Amino acid sequence: MSEAHAHSVAYVRDTMLPQAAPPPGETGPLRWMRENLFSSIPNAALTLLSIYFIYTILAAILPWMLGGIWDAGSLTECRAIRDERGLETAACWAVINERWLQLLFGFYPIDSPLLARLFYADELAAAGGMEAVFGAGSNATARIEFVAQMRADLGNLVVFFFGYWRPLLALALLVVAVAPVLYSSLPRKMLVFSLAYPFVAVFLLWGGTIWGPMLVALGILLSLGVLRVVAGETNALLGMLAGILVALMIFLNPLAFTDLGLFPLLPHVKAMLDSALPLGLPAIDSADFGGFMLAIIIGTSGIVLSLPLGILLALGRQSSMPLIKWVCVSFIEVIRGVPLIVWLFTASLLLNYFLPPGTDFDLLLRVIIMVTLFASAYIAEVVRGGLAALPKGQYEAADSLGLDYWKSMRLIVLPQALKISIPGIVNTFIGLFKDTTLVVFIGLRDPLGLVNAIRATGEWNGIYWELYVFVGLMFFIFCFFMSRYSMYLERKLATDRR
């Protein structure tokens, strides 16, 4: 320390300064604007240019959107109203107003008997009562007329809440089932319902006898139970074999060549229970599914199924066993190297050639399987990136503590690798959800397919912006939620940073 400094070191403060307000113009929006918008001449010029740009776009869109016409029966009426009001442009939202149910559910049938009983009792009585209108021997033409009249009289909202209660309930339960998976603060016991949900959803959406989904669930439980018991008594391999054998006896026929007629067990038990206690909902064919319901069904199933499959593929690709590694690598490369639309055509057309004759394999199910496989190849690569980003020391520390392969993967490696991969995984999921629109090309009525159907009608021929804006908005809402959720998850799991 220099001499000069040594003299000035001694100093004692006797009064503390009170906190003072900053000088005017140094806080608040003015300061923010000066710092962020007009800090220099080029910056100010860019700001003004951007404001002008945004203004031009909004000036073009807003009058069209906000001045839209909501009440009209057809595009011609819409145009007449627009001219009458003297508007230059106006969106014809009337098409959404009239057809939003169709965009949401496609041609999924409404529960007409329920609607009639709840809201249309007098007219139902006038038409001859429940049995006469909806009974087995009723006149189809008269029934269709009755239902059409009822829909027109009741209005879209009532039909939405009560006519489509099955898909709506399935959606509400989906939220309940997904919530504990997404948010760990919810009670863990709710996960039991998450596991049961697929069967509940299948029953609600497709209907038919309740025994079908229940027996499938029981069959899976039974196979897993046998697997556990046998694996506990002997070893893992025998347990696996026993489990698979039981599953085969229940779901397929392991002795196909013998033609005993005893296996698979499931249809026999189902028929027995169904005749003893017929419980169920009216069955609905996959071909009637459509709209956003279809997109959500394919999207959610794809997302839920592709994540575990993708993780297994990623682990397989890193495996030290050459055969497993080779199978996983070829699967990933082949699936990823071919466009999804080709796989969808394969699902809809080619698959029938490879399946045994007489196999009736639901098209929707085939599409879900293809979308799942496609997404899982991408997920596998994203997860592989996460696995590779993990320091080798983490594997070694897990090994040195005596954790076996699956435990170290489950407890140490995957939680960290998946956390790293969240942005990539959600990216893949968003892509998958939007790609469900591709099923329009194989004849499924997804939202875009319905837009085409609506535009093909006499009333709405020639309209397109409004419908596509609506469809785009719906997709945006779902994708935006996924994106926000992934950011929430990243923040929540960021424990390794200070």
Partner 1 sequence: MAEAHTNPVESRKIDRSQMTVSDEIAIEITNMNKWYGTFHVLRDINLTVNRGERIVICGPSGSGKSTLIRCINALEEHQKGQITVDGTLLSSDLKNIDRIRSEVGMVFQHFNLFPHLTILENCTLAPIWVRKVPKREAEETAMYFLEKVKIPEQANKYPGQLSGGQQQRVAIARSLCMRPRIMLFDEPTSALDPEMIKEVLDTMIALAEEGMTMLCVTHEMGFARQVANRVIFMDQGQIVEQNEPEPFFTNPQNDRTKLFLSQILGH
Residues of the shown chain interacting with partner 1 in the complex, contacts defined by CB under 8 A: 391, 393-394, 396-404, 407, 411-412, 415-416, 419, 493, 495-498
Name which of 240 and 397 has its Cβ closer to partner 1.
397
Minimum distance of partner 1 from residue 378's CB (angstroms): 24
Minimum distance of partner 1 from residue 386's CB (angstroms): 12
Name which of 19 and 400 has its Cβ closer to partner 1.
400
Name which of 306 and 421 has its Cβ closer to partner 1.
421
DSSP 8-state class, residue 23? P
Name which of 267 and 415 has its Cβ closer to partner 1.
415
Sign of CA dihedral 111, 117, 120, 126: positive
Minimum distance of partner 1 from residue 354's CB (angstroms): 39
Residue 22: exposure state from Cβ atoms within 10 A (0-12, 13-18, ≥19): exposed
Minimum distance of partner 1 from residue 352's CB (angstroms): 45
CB 366 within 8 A of CB 348: yes
CB 377 within 8 A of CB 329: no
Q: Where are the alpha helices (DSSP H) in 137-263?
A: 140-154, 156-158, 165-182, 190-206, 211-233, 236-251
Q: Where are the alpha helices (DSSP H) in 277-413?
A: 291-317, 322-337, 340-345, 351-354, 363-389, 392-400, 405-408
Minimum distance of partner 1 from residue 376's CB (angstroms): 24
Q: What is the dihedral of CA 235, 238, 242, 244, to 10 degrees?
A: 110
Token code pair at residue 233: 């008594």
Q: What is the dihedral of CA 307, 313, 316, 318, to 10 degrees?
A: -90
Minimum distance of partner 1 from residue 187's CB (angstroms): 18
Q: How many CB atoms lie within 10 A of CB 442?
A: 18
d(CA 219, CA 210): 14
Name which of 140 and 321 has its Cβ closer to partner 1.
321
Name which of 31 and 410 has its Cβ closer to partner 1.
410
Kindly state the helix (H) or strand (E) to which residue 97 belongs, with its residue range. helix 94-105
Minimum distance of partner 1 from residue 329's CB (angstroms): 24
Minimum distance of partner 1 from residue 405's CB (angstroms): 8
Helix axes 291-317, 465-493, angle to 10 degrees: 40
Name which of 128 and 415 has its Cβ closer to partner 1.
415
Name which of 269 and 390 has its Cβ closer to partner 1.
390
